[in-house]
A and B are shown apart, each in its own frame.
Chain A
Amino acid sequence: MRKVFVVLIIMFVVPAMVYAAGPPETEWPDPDETITVVVPFGAGGGTDLIFRELVEEMNNHTEAEIIVDNIGGAGSATGTNEVLSLPADGYTVLASGAHTVTATLQGLTEGYRELEGIIGLNWDPFIVAVHRDSPWESFDELLADAADDPEALSFGNAGMGGATGVLTVGMNLHFDGVFNVTPFDGGADLIANFLGQHVDIGVFSQTEVAEHMNDMRPLMIVHPERSTIPELSDVPTYEDAGYSDLDVPFGSYRSLSVRAGTPADRKEALADIATQAFESERFQDYMRRQGLLPEYSRLGELDEYFQELEDLFYPILEAADLLDD
């Protein structure tokens, strides 16, 4: 009996010891390892598609394999919390952005307070639109009707916790609460209800509007510049529409972050890979086609940019009674 055990232990443990060392590690990222970019939203959504495009390009700039993982839920808090629960070794990267700021301010996650920036990517400005069958041809007309009978017109967003929620609440504040802000269950739900005319006004991303040009009448783009998408290039900016004092977040902002405490050289390496991908002809072209506006920042700059975002979002979330208290 005992002999068997000894034999077994020798058989198993000795080769294990020999192998345990593993291949030598020379550089970072280890070419045999996988870097995971966690997208805190479901597969197939707008944010997911942007990061998939970026990751595909990133794979051309490193030997390590880079993959996308979708961990959706609770706004973007579930995915963010997962990243914060994994080791700060640079092998897990979060697709962060404006959603990270809103989730953090709502107290759903420690969020950006426990994250450090790699690079900032772009803004995806939102468009305010009404149904083609509706009478309003411009935002002025819409606002005039809304002011006549406050809260009669419903203004739909894709969920109070997200970027569209912040935008609608912010706009409603600015216009003295003339709209009936109503949250829906995500972008797809909002579009379905909008196309069925159950809600009067909606806020959408440019690609969503471009897809539904037959049914949507874009009134203005909430950004100082016009869209780079040809079909949407004649949509007035909020300044063109005469509301230059409208001080709300433009849309959704996207960036890459890692958990705080990741070694500086690894962050540098990641930022190099991501920057090369960002600057590639292919990704730049992709952003132009999707109407995404580049807003590049690197490492420390991104951390500062997050601070600015917090200052911008805080009063709006406070007014919407969404802050963590």
Chain B
Amino acid sequence: MIDVLSGVALITDPGTIIWIMFGVCFGIILGAIPGLTATMGIALMLPVAIQLTTATGMAMLLAVYSGAIIGASIPAILLGIPGNPNAIATVYDGYPLTQQGRGAEALIAATVGSFVGGIGSLLLLGLFAPLIARFTLRFGPAERAALALVGLTIIASVSERRVAKGLLMGAFGLSLAFLGPDRITQTMRLPFPSITTGTPLANGIQLVPALIGLFGISQALYDIDRVRSGRLTPPQVSLRGSIPKPRIFLKMWRLMVESLGIGTFIGAIPGAGASIAVFLSYQRAQRTAPANAASDAPELGSGALEGVVAPEVANNACKGGSLIPALSLGIPGDAATAVLLGALLIKGVVPGPQLFVDELPLVYAILFALLLANIFMVVFQVVGIRFFPKVLSIPIYILLPLILVFSLLGSYAVEGRAIMAASFNMGVALILGVVGYFLKKHDYPIAPIVLGLILGDMLEQNFRRAMRLARGDYTVFLRSPIALAFILLAIASIAYSVRRARRAKAAAGEDDEE
């Protein structure tokens, strides 16, 4: 108990609280600009954090982290641009809501989801960190390859009835992921190697520019025919009178708990990443929503609040999850926590099991800072929600060029200190933007491309690594209980999707393509 109190005392001075508020604000602004990621924000603030005391510095960095994740949901919901990988799945229902004039409602849902995810994962982190961390260590190459396989089965559920098209798009995403170096043997996989060697393509296609292109730029191109009507979306309903009732969110408790578990757990597996978690939780939302919603509730993908809440719970839970191996094992769960660990190391604090023994007050200070950051995050969001949708009342002839410029500059900013690589990323975003535009026109699902791109590297590397460690024995995937469970889950998931597609087809008596 004394540790808890001394931990709280470490960060309850006014200076620290102001730093946390500043961090959340900075993070929200940063996250709201497409292309600027949490990792970048933390790295940016690293020199400042080093000047502060360890607890204050960590509190500020965590605040930036929290702010950046909720910030990313704003452009995802209002403009349909997921500025960073955390917000990919938020787009599917967030943007349709905005198109129905319910942007503010979606933002509220995102805030609720974020808060639940943030606080929930915080509790899990505080109570079970060493336990979860030890369990995630059982994830070796075979288990991770199987997890990637589960991730790929999401293709079926995000492509709805267009299974063949979805599969094609997923493979297209994989094909993009395989460009660049093969990270096992360092073989360069470049088309026209005489031209492309030594260019930024040698580092492969980066996820964030691809996201911005496929979602942001393609949507903007798609919206050009609205230029004459003068408006991008219908007028947004003002918040007053349209605040979703708490009951609606209480009804989603199961979904929230599931997303929380998915987020925290995936976040805790080093190298898995929030983007898988948000898709998995979205898939859960898809499957549980019809059961607990009224029959006239909108289908997932056409503006259901569940579709916003689930991924937002998951991506915030990931944030807490990724701190689990970081603090208890000293292994960063993702790039952002790697920088956080760096900050600790610079201050002479060695993360790992000893941290929970030697530096317990600091651990509690970190947990408490995260709690404060989550609270400020909600406060700022609630204030901001009145103003954010105002962006949409800008005349379209100004807004559309702005979206395009922000999309390109955002893809540039991902590697914004490297001018060559950054300019190349703008090209990637533009080309995929045009591709995405044609795909939209021809009714091809876009999400599978992103899934392929995210999972390609994870699947290939871990599959090959597992094969090598097992000396060519394929049964390694069946001998590991975790891997086996995942493979069965993948099969079940495909079977479910196929059945659902058949039913939907039968029910509609289809005139549709697939």
Pairing of A with B:
yes
Binding site for B on A (CB under 8 A): 38, 42-45, 48-49, 52-53, 67, 69-71, 73-74, 77-79, 81-82, 85-86, 106-110, 151-152, 154, 159-161, 180, 182-185, 188-189, 191-193, 195-196, 198-199, 207, 210-212, 214, 321-322
* Chain A residues whose C-beta falls within 8 Å of the C-beta of B351 in the assembled complex: 211
Evaluate whether A322 and B186 lie within 8 angstroms (CB atoms) in the complex, with A45-B342, A69-B417 already known: yes
In the complex, the answer to whether A71 meets B46 with C-beta atoms within 8 Å is: no
In the complex, the answer to whether A44 meets B138 with C-beta atoms within 8 Å is: no
Q: Residue on B with the closest CB to A85?
A: B420
Cα A90 to Cα B203 in complex, Å, equals 26
Cα A185 to Cα B420 in complex, Å, equals 24
Shortest CB-to-CB span from A318 to chain B, Å, is: 13
In the complex, the answer to whether B350 meets A211 with C-beta atoms within 8 Å is: yes
In the complex, the answer to whether B202 meets A108 with C-beta atoms within 8 Å is: yes
Q: Residue on B with the closest CB to A77?
A: B202
Q: Residue on A with the closest CB to B338?
A: A44
Q: Which 9 A-B pairs have the closest CB atoms?
A: A44-B342, A198-B140, A196-B137, A43-B43, A44-B339, A44-B338, A71-B418, A74-B203, A69-B417
Shortest CB-to-CB span from B343 to chain A, Å, is: 7
Evaluate whether A78 and B186 lie within 8 angstroms (CB atoms) in the complex, with A151-B471, A196-B138 already known: no
* Chain A residues whose C-beta falls within 8 Å of the C-beta of B43 in the assembled complex: 43-44, 70
* Chain B residues whose C-beta falls within 8 Å of the C-beta of A207 in the assembled complex: 345
Q: Residue on B with the closest CB to A83?
A: B418
The one of B197, B203, B340, B353 that contacts A214, using a Cβ cutoff of 8 Å: B353
For this complex, 6 residue pairs linking A to B, each with C-beta atoms less than 8 Å apart, are A42-B338, A78-B200, A183-B465, A192-B139, A196-B140, A214-B352
Cα A152 to Cα B473 in complex, Å, equals 12
* Chain B residues whose C-beta falls within 8 Å of the C-beta of A74 in the assembled complex: 180-181, 202-203
The stretch from B147-155, B164-172, B328-336 touching chain A is B328-336
Cα A160 to Cα B184 in complex, Å, equals 7
Shortest CB-to-CB span from A204 to chain B, Å, is: 12
Q: Residue on B with the closest CB to A289?
A: B348
Q: A110-B198, A159-B183, A185-B183 are in contact. List 4 more A-B contacts (CB 8 A).
A: A71-B417, A189-B271, A210-B350, A211-B351
The yes or no answer to B229 lying at the interface (CB within 8 A) is no
Cα A27 to Cα B198 in complex, Å, equals 36
In the complex, the answer to whether B331 meets A192 with C-beta atoms within 8 Å is: yes
Evaluate whether A182 and B418 lie within 8 angstroms (CB atoms) in the complex, with A42-B335, A107-B197, A161-B186 already known: no
Q: Which of A71, A106, A161 has the most CB atoms of chain B within a 10 A radius of its CB?
A: A71
Instruction: Give a binary string over B32-57; 1 marks a CB under 8 Å from any A CB, 0 the rest.
Output: 00000001001100110000000000
Binding site for A on B (CB under 8 A): 39, 42-43, 46-47, 136-141, 180-181, 183-186, 197-198, 200, 202-203, 270-271, 325, 329-332, 335, 338-343, 345-346, 350-354, 415, 417-421, 461, 465, 468-469, 471
Q: Residue on A with the closest CB to B197?
A: A107
Q: Which of B415, B465, B471 has the most CB atoms of chain A within a 10 A radius of its CB?
A: B465
In the complex, the answer to whether A188 meets B331 with C-beta atoms within 8 Å is: yes
Shortest CB-to-CB span from A167 to chain B, Å, is: 15
* Chain B residues whose C-beta falls within 8 Å of the C-beta of A183 in the assembled complex: 183-184, 465
* Chain B residues whose C-beta falls within 8 Å of the C-beta of A188 in the assembled complex: 270-271, 331-332, 338
The one of B198, B331, B341, B461 that contacts A108, using a Cβ cutoff of 8 Å: B198
Shortest CB-to-CB span from B458 to chain A, Å, is: 9
Evaluate whether A81 and B184 lie within 8 angstroms (CB atoms) in the complex, with A42-B338, A108-B198, A196-B139 already known: no
In the complex, the answer to whether A71 meets B421 with C-beta atoms within 8 Å is: yes
Evaluate whether A182 and B421 lie within 8 angstroms (CB atoms) in the complex, with A49-B345, A78-B203, A214-B353 already known: no
Shortest CB-to-CB span from B107 to chain A, Å, is: 31
Cα A82 to Cα B420 in complex, Å, equals 6
The one of A71, A154, A321 that contacts B415, using a Cβ cutoff of 8 Å: A71
In the complex, the answer to whether B417 meets A73 with C-beta atoms within 8 Å is: no
Cα A125 to Cα B350 in complex, Å, equals 20
Shortest CB-to-CB span from A256 to chain B, Å, is: 18
Cα A196 to Cα B136 in complex, Å, equals 8
Cα A321 to Cα B421 in complex, Å, equals 27
Evaluate whether A78 and B421 lie within 8 angstroms (CB atoms) in the complex, with A159-B183, A183-B184, A198-B140 already known: yes
Q: Residue on A with the closest CB to B142?
A: A198
Evaluate whether A73 and B419 lie within 8 angstroms (CB atoms) in the complex, with A42-B338, A44-B342, A109-B198 already known: no
In the complex, the answer to whether B469 meets A199 with C-beta atoms within 8 Å is: yes
Cα A195 to Cα B140 in complex, Å, equals 10
In the complex, the answer to whether B421 meets A43 with C-beta atoms within 8 Å is: no
In the complex, the answer to whether A212 meets B352 with C-beta atoms within 8 Å is: yes
Cα A182 to Cα B325 in complex, Å, equals 23
* Chain B residues whose C-beta falls within 8 Å of the C-beta of A159 in the assembled complex: 183
In the complex, the answer to whether B183 meets A211 with C-beta atoms within 8 Å is: no
Evaluate whether A44 and B421 lie within 8 angstroms (CB atoms) in the complex, with A182-B468, A193-B141, A214-B353 already known: no
